[in-house]
Amino acid sequence: MAKFLKHVGRIANTDRRCVVAFRELPDNPTECLVIDTDALPDRFHDGVMQAVENSTAQETVEFYKYLERNSFIDGSNMLTALHNKGWLVKQPTNNVIMLPAPEQTIKLAELNEQLRSLGFDVYTSDDKAPKKEPAKAIVDSITPNIPLPGQEKVGEVLQNEDLAKNFLQQAETMMKEVENLKEQAYEMDPSLKPKKGRSKKANA
């Protein structure tokens, strides 16, 4: 029997695989936020896919709710990390094809209409109280998608100045992560830590 799996799909115009974090945006139900899993480094890709397959995640209609309550293996909050690293990508809901099972597909726009008719609202909690931070704040701060190499333009692209700032922010984040990984490696095996060289004066 084919396994049914929520939240997974692909981006129609690029055929890239994705996981849907937010089915629709608060002020624009024709757009969503997806995780482009083909663009993730291996350890984050594995973390996202393990999260998707988790029974608790499969029981919820809104995957972002699971993400904001759980962490990656490095201890970082999943939803916050995906946002900070720029891995939450804005897409039109009619450009995302859901793949719940082999040989089964449905456009996210159509799925959202069906869920809406059943009373599901992406921005309310299980008791129908208004959804609070941090999830909505993250959605509100998401910039238009910066297409990946070979990806067709979808929506507006950041102006050059904003694009440059975004690249610098991503670079700083990556540099910090590199330093953290180095420190963790040195703690595990101190012999790997570079030894300070003797000064020229001492050698003389």
Percent of the chain with pLDDT over 70: 69
pLDDT at 93: 95
What are the start-end ranges of the H helices in 124-189?
Answer: 135-141, 160-188
Q: What does pLDDT average to over the chain?
A: 77
Euclidean distance between CA atoms 88 and 80, whole angstroms:
10
- Looking at residue 131, what is its pLDDT? 43
**Is there a contact between 123 and 136 (Cβ–Cβ < 8 Å)?**
yes
pLDDT band at 37 (very low <50, low <70, confident <90, very high): very high
Q: 189 falls in which pLDDT band (50, 70, 90)?
A: confident
Strands (E), the chain: 8-11, 16-22, 31-35, 88-92, 96-101, 104-107
Per the CB < 8 A criterion, the answer to whether 107 and 98 are in contact is: yes
Higher pLDDT, 1 or 53: 53
- What confidence category does residue 18 fall into, taking pLDDT thresholds of 50, 70 and 90? very high
> Domain coordinates of the chain in residue numbers?
8-155, 158-192
Q: What's the pLDDT score for residue 175? A: 76
- The tokens for 48 are 């996202």
Residue 31 has pLDDT above 80, yes or no: yes
Cα 13 to the chain's mean position, in Å?
19
CB–CB of 134/79 below 8 Å? yes
What pLDDT is recorded for position 55?
93
Share of the chain above pLDDT 90, in %: 39
pLDDT digits (tens, 9 = 90+) for 114-156: 888 887 766 544 444 334 445 556 555 554 443 433 433 433 3
* Nearest alpha-carbon partner for 88 in 185, 19, 149: 19
